Amino acid sequence: MTVYTIKDISEMFHLPASTLRYYEDMNILTNIRRTASGQRIYEAKHVHRLRTICCLKRTGLSIAKLQAFFTYEEREPEHIDDILNLLTEQQQHITEQLIQFRKDLAHVNRKLHYYGDIKAALTSGKALPRWSNYRDKQF
pLDDT in tens, 67-123: 999 999 999 999 999 999 999 999 999 999 999 999 999 999 999 999 999 999 999
| Half-sphere exposure at residue 56, Cβ-oriented, CA atoms within 13 angstroms | 22
pLDDT of residue 137: 78
- pTM of the full predicted structure? 0.83
- Looking at the predicted structure, is the pLDDT value of residue 139 above 80? no
Q: Which amino acid does the sequence have at 88?
A: T
Q: Which amino acid does the sequence have at 62?
A: S
Asked if 17 and 5 count as a contact pair (C-beta separation under 8 A), the reply is: no
pLDDT of residue 1: 86
Question: 108-136 pLDDT, tens per residue?
Answer: 999 999 999 999 999 999 999 999 998 77
**Helix (H, G, I), strand (E, B), or coil: what is residue 35?**
coil
